[in-house]
Chain A
Amino acid sequence: MKVAITGMGIISSIGNTVEENFHSLVSLKTGLSTISNIETIHKDIIKVGEIKLTNEQLAEQLNLPSDNNYSRTALLGAIAAKQAVENAKISDMNAYKSGLISATSVGGMDMTEKYYYEYFENEACQKYITSHDIGDNSQKIANCIGLKGMVTTISTACSSAANAIMLGARLIQSGELDRIVVGGTDALAKFTINGFKTLMILSDDYNAPFDNNRKGLNLGEAAAFLVLESETIVKNENKEVLAYVTGFGNANDAFHQTASSENGDGAFLAMNKAFKMAKIQPSEIDYINAHGTATPNNDLSEGRAIIRIFGENVPDFSSTKPFTGHTLAAAAGIEAVYSVLALQNNVVYPNLNFKTNMEEFNLTPQLTLKEKEIHHVLSNSFGFGGNCSTLIFSKN
């Protein structure tokens, strides 16, 4: 059973719609800036991919009452999911066996960190206590798109959204569901900013994936969702298909809780599984949207794994994290949208900020915007806990 992508929605620091995101990508416009929505002592040191809309403005877009208890993660997720459903021209969300598979790492942490002690003194903010829960965030997204059906959430750190897309594709392939909205959402939070700070992998500059002098990552916030539909729906409703999910694989590095193995075992296994499922050869990949966080550890491990798979013939590759920052659980969602846009528009996005090849290997990412015929895009996403995921998107 083929898994068709029939709708996409996205909100990130480089745009509030799919069109705006694509425009920023092809005009090489980064979304990294100084943080303004969160008060943090690190604000003058770090650059982040922040969406310059307040929670009130986001809630207004969703027509939510002012006494709503949405976390920022839920707000972003609901906006992207609604766009995806509109883009897929769905009028009755429950006309088929439907589901929502969301992904997030922080959930409602933005509210928990804001009201941690205030909860005990101020009854007005207590409405946010239950918003911390990850499932509560997904439930709200489901409500915003009017979905009654299977709703679940995956949280495997920075590979979460890839895994949500994977489960969605599996549910369509098995015939369990006919239509699934899949993706991820993560808002910036002091919790994650400080967490990555203590791990000493936050760059004080603009991130430079696969560069020998890379200094670490910039965090970002975003949400993106895809609508996946079965061939039956596509045929019956004569739907426009944006692309297909043709391969996927997940494996565990089983090396360290937060670091990747030097040879990228998990990444290698995940890519191999995806190729096996897609029934294509590595040589057929036209573009790799790499995980490329620009941490010393990730880029070395991912680069080695890419060489293990592709040998001398590494296809055009780039990381789009210099545009958006690392949006954690949402990353594979927004990069899925970028992969589909690459297929639709036959472009390879440049890997911004790259200057010097890494000393460990001779890999040069794509440095300028390149137009060429694209049939298959491979997208990698790796997370804490050794979680490695690969998705393959195809035109046919």
Chain B
Amino acid sequence: MGCVSSQDTYETSFLESVEINTTENIVYAKQPSYKELIPPAAARRMAKGVKMGIAASTKALKEANVEVPDAIITGTGMGCIEDSEKFLKALIDNNEEYLTPTNFIQSTHNTVGAQIALGLGCKGYNFTYVNGSISFESALLDAKLQLENEEENTILVGAADETSSHTMELFKLVNIIKKESDLPYSVLDSNSSGVVYSEGATFVTLENVKKENSYAVLEALQIQNELNIDEVESFITSFLDKNHLKIQDIDVVVLGNNGDINFDTYYTAVGSLFDQIPQVYYKHLCGEFNTASAFGFWVAASILKNQAIPKVVKMNSIEKATFSKVLLYNQFQGKDHSLVLLSKC
């Protein structure tokens, strides 16, 4: 796996050094050094999302000892939004004249997946999912079906999203992003609506065989467009049922709390079902964005591999000696709910 985020997650080992942001309502990803990864001339033209995607995917393939995967499946909420904005702004400001194609070419949502394929010379299956907070989970589901069906053996799955100035300003207008008057920002002790926005990229190599250095097993996942808060319990129990599990079989629950008081109630409802086990949160570290849940996936898989939960992500003080099953739950503004079940290798 490889992870680029607003924390120093690329160069250091799992959450070894973290900073908790309480003062900024937009936090930018710490950019790795791209010198060794991308020729400088090419890097200058590349969108931030593409560069973060290339960095994260390079690490994910290297860790798995894979040179070229059979398929590449990507999730992104907004694609290369900065290029879209640049092209649109130039179009409006110059009344449709004097435009150049570069920004338009990069603005298509599948640019990240396409550029990774181009770099690797990977002619395999290449899909990009764009659907709010389940973009990454859609990619995971597709990969899982193909691995189980033995259509492919090795699939690079990941997510990338970048921030861009105009969109961030619009998000502030409609209170998707927290206001300055809501300072200081906190995920668990929030009393305001909106979120702290961020960006990042996480890539994972999925294979249909277990290797010595594998992190975890992707057991099952489910996606649901809408749920009322009183439907959350049955959503979870029927998912567990389908996988022949009970609530007691889960060792750790990883929740997507983002500090929006209007919707974190969903997580409270799920947390109350799992009040006897360690609960983990992560968006105080990576911020919120369409594919922030991929960061959560990286946290969950790393917990299973290391068999330890870093203190900085703990929501409660319940301890457990070993972990075999981790359940992730995420949603955004009451929409695009996902459950992902991982188990120990």
- Which A residues are within 8 Å of any B CB, using their own CB? 40-42, 100, 105, 107, 109, 112-113, 116-117, 119-120, 126, 129-130, 133-136, 138-139, 142, 147-157, 163, 167, 170-171, 173-174, 176, 190-191, 194-195, 197-199, 250-258, 265-266, 269, 383-387
Contacts and interface: CB of A to CB of B under 8 A. Distances in A.
Contact of B131 (A109, A112, A134): A134
- Going nearest first, the 8 A-B pairs with the smallest beta carbon separation are A385-B114, A135-B132, A195-B104, A155-B109, A151-B225, A135-B131, A198-B101, A252-B126
Contacts of A113: 88, 91-92
Contacts, number: 194
Contacts of B128: 154-156, 385
A134 B223 CA distance: 17
A171 to B, nearest CB: 7
**Majority secondary structure, A binding face:** mixed
A387 B89 contact: no
B217 to A, nearest CB: 18
B145 A171 contact: yes
A75 B227 CA distance: 23
Given A135-B132, A142-B225, A155 B101 contact: no
Interface string B84-101: 100111011001110111
A255 B126 CA distance: 13
Contacts of A252: 72, 114, 117, 122-126
Contact of A385 (B110, B124, B335): B110
A199 B107 CA distance: 13
A179 B319 CA distance: 43
A153 B131 contact: yes
Interface stretch (B51-59, B134-142, B199-207, B300-308): B134-142
Interface in B107-124: 107-111, 113-115, 117-118, 120-124
Interface of B: 72, 77-79, 84, 87-89, 91-92, 95-97, 99-101, 104-111, 113-115, 117-118, 120-135, 138, 141-142, 145-146, 148-149, 166, 169-171, 173-174, 176, 222-226, 290, 335-336
A31 B78 CA distance: 32
Given A42-B96, A198-B99, A266-B123, A155 B108 contact: yes
B88 A116 contact: yes
A157 to B, nearest CB: 5
Given A156-B110, A199-B105, A387-B126, 5 more contacts: A134-B131, A155-B108, A155-B109, A265-B123, A386-B114
A105 B77 contact: no
A155 B145 contact: no
Contacts of B130: 107, 134-135, 153-155
A254 B121 contact: yes
B170 A250 contact: no
Contacts of A167: 127, 142
B336 to A, nearest CB: 7
A254 B170 contact: no
B96 to A, nearest CB: 5
A254 B108 CA distance: 16
13 contacts: A100-B225, A109-B84, A113-B92, A129-B171, A134-B130, A148-B224, A152-B134, A176-B145, A250-B125, A252-B122, A254-B123, A257-B118, A384-B105
Given A120-B173, A250-B125, A384 B110 contact: yes
A152 B131 contact: yes
B216 to A, nearest CB: 21
B239 to A, nearest CB: 12
A154 B105 contact: no
A217 to B, nearest CB: 15
Most buried by A among B95, B118, B130: B130
B263 to A, nearest CB: 14
A187 to B, nearest CB: 15
B158 to A, nearest CB: 15
Contacts of B114: 252, 257, 384-387
B170 A119 contact: yes
A143 to B, nearest CB: 8
B87 A174 contact: no
Nearest to A151: B225
B142 A198 contact: no
A100 B134 CA distance: 13
B100 A198 contact: yes
Contacts of A126: 173-174
Contacts of B97: 41
B153 to A, nearest CB: 15
Contacts of B100: 198
Nearest to A189: B88
Given A148-B225, A384-B114, A386-B114, A194 B131 contact: no
B108 A112 contact: no
A190 B96 contact: yes
A379 to B, nearest CB: 18
Given A191-B87, A383-B110, A151 B145 contact: no
A133 B77 contact: yes
Contacts of A100: 225
Contact of B79 (A136, A155, A383): A155
Contact of B91 (A129, A148, A191, A387): A191
B123 A250 contact: no
B110 to A, nearest CB: 4
Contacts of B145: 170-171, 174, 176
B118 A151 contact: no
A228 B139 CA distance: 21
Contact of A149 (B72, B129, B135, B224): B224
Contacts of B120: 254
Contacts of B129: 152-155
Contacts of B89: 116
A396 B138 CA distance: 30
Contact of B118 (A42, A107, A386): A386
Contact of B105 (A129, A153, A257): A257
A163 B127 contact: yes
A41 B111 CA distance: 28
B143 to A, nearest CB: 11
Given A154-B128, A252-B123, A385 B92 contact: no
Contact of A139 (B104, B108, B335): B335
Contact of B225 (A150, A174, A190): A150
